[in-house]
Amino acid sequence: MNRREAIKITGLSALGVMFSPRLAAQSFLPTVLKRADFGKDFLWGVATAAYQIEGAWNEDGKGASVWDTFSHKKGKIKNGENGDTACDFYHRYAKDIGLVKEMGFRVKRFSLSWSRIMPEGTGTINTKGVDFYHKVIEECLVQGIEPWITLYHWDLPQALEDKGGWTNREVIQWFSEYVDFCTRTFGDKVKNWMVLNEPAAFTALGYLLGIHAPGKRGFNKFVAATHHATLCQAEGGRIIRKNVKNANIGSTFSCSYVQPFKNTEPHIKAADKMDAFLNRLFLEPALGLGYPFETVPILRKIKKFIQDGDMEKLAFDFDFIGLQNYTRNITRFNPFIPGISGLEVPAKKRNVPYTDMGWEVYPEGIYHLLKKFAAYKGVKKIIVTENGAAFPDAVQDNQVQDDQRIKFYQKYLEKVLQAKHEGVPVEGYFVWSLMDNFEWAEGFRPRFGLVYVDFLSQQRIIKNSGLWFKSFLNES
């Protein structure tokens, strides 16, 4: 289950950004794309996550998260790295938000660190943590950037994990308390909210495979975490609706376009099951369709965790669905894989282009997924809340010439536009990511950013891809 574990030229010296005048006149890779083709109300943004960029892991009263604990354990993260400092966004947020504006984006999607606000997960509020997010929100608004908040992006407070985390049904109450506080505290300034980021990823990688925090393994742990996260997804939406006037509410789903290795029945059935795991498991309950038990019978093990009234509580009428896509999944029948009877065939073995994460570059996939999601009754609006690519960037003469990334965005945006022209209600596109950051178990090697970060000096360098977006977004 391979998932995504994913300037205004003058005045840059004041932002601490390196820039070469030669880039100002540079002609980027040719493209027929024009911003105007997407419509004047189409949203353009960048996305980040708290643990991946903030650093300050134990400053100003912040409690430990599962990622603090996990990354400090030997052998869990490549090269023994951790997010203790990351991009130091906690101290550099104003300049980094300035980069968002300079590149022409008008939305910044970011997450709140639960343990920075509630160090023990419930109860006592850390006022310094709350003040930090007030400052980030205010800085966005001052610079003309619309803040979009993700309430949960994988960094559960360790104090709650010590009680079972997402496998403990009490997480519904813990999460509800957190969401209630955040939306009452920040809801007068922030109208755009996402409940969970990629629940299929943090449940599978964290509680089934154990390769992400908190490092637990076991199918029973996975299905318990899945059911509780699905209930929290809907309950979080209901709390936002109650607390925030005129809120725009969504949740984000990691999606991979799944195709069978061969057009034969065993491969097709395995691909159908993989699609249910990757793309349907959390979306369909939110739409009132329940879990995909018929496609994946092993998921019926969830039933031991379902209580009276739960199935009705899984659904919530979201204003938008956040679609996050990075790659395609080619599934090959394998009878030794429990439940799915299939396994992904890596891009490296298929002689296709792939990124530094080993993920296939397949722009057609985002088109097919947009069409697939739009076909669901109840999906009113879709925002591409993450799309991007990691490539082995290098600095030369204070420049980062990342033509592969520019081509990636051009091709994917062409497919987003095609879907839009065919009637898919896709109304925004957020780049992953603003800057290079801590890429979970992969550490700092994979670079997804439009901004290059030297993690030793914390110097920022706008990559050519960031300058391409500046040119694209500022055209009349």
Q: Residue 369: in which H helix or E strand, if any?
A: helix 364-374
Q: Which of 102, 235, 386, 439 is catalytic?
A: 386
Task: Indicate whether 163 belongs to any domain.
Answer: yes
pTM beyond cutoff 0.85: yes
Task: Indicate whether 449 belongs to any domain.
Answer: yes
- The predicted pLDDT at position 99 comes to 98
Q: Does residue 138 have an active-site annotation?
A: no
SS3 per residue for 53-71 = HCCCCCCCCCCCEHHHHHH
CA-wise closest residue to 208 among 304, 291, 278: 278
- The predicted pLDDT at position 77 comes to 98
Residue numbers in the chain where pLDDT is lower than 50: 1-27
- The predicted pLDDT at position 434 comes to 99
Q: Within 153-264, where are the H helices?
A: 158-161, 171-186, 199-207, 219-243
- The predicted pLDDT at position 475 comes to 84
Task: Indicate whether 5 belongs to any domain.
Answer: no
Task: Indicate whether 6 belongs to any domain.
Answer: no
Q: Which of 54, 81, 198, 344 is catalytic?
A: 198
CA distances from 74 to 86, 158, 452 (A): 18, 17, 27
- The predicted pLDDT at position 148 comes to 99
Residue span of the structural domain in which 356 resides: 12-474
CATH number assigned to the domain comprising residue 409: 3.20.20.80
DSSP state of 399: B
- The predicted pLDDT at position 31 comes to 62
Buried/exposed code over 90-126 (b: 16+ C-beta within 10 A; e: otherwise):
bebbbebbbbbbbbbbbbbbbbbbbbbbbbbbbeeeb
- The predicted pLDDT at position 6 comes to 35
- The predicted pLDDT at position 312 comes to 97
Residue 377: CA count within 13 A, CB half-sphere: 2
- The predicted pLDDT at position 363 comes to 98
Number of domains in the chain: 1
Contact status, residue 229 vs residue 166, Cβ threshold 8 Å:
yes
Task: Indicate whether 4 belongs to any domain.
Answer: no
Task: Indicate whether 346 belongs to any domain.
Answer: yes
Task: Indicate whether 140 belongs to any domain.
Answer: yes
Q: Does residue 198 have an active-site annotation?
A: yes
Task: Indicate whether 7 belongs to any domain.
Answer: no
- The predicted pLDDT at position 281 comes to 98
Contact status, residue 105 vs residue 148, Cβ threshold 8 Å:
no
Distance CA 409, CA 404 (A): 9
- The predicted pLDDT at position 4 comes to 39
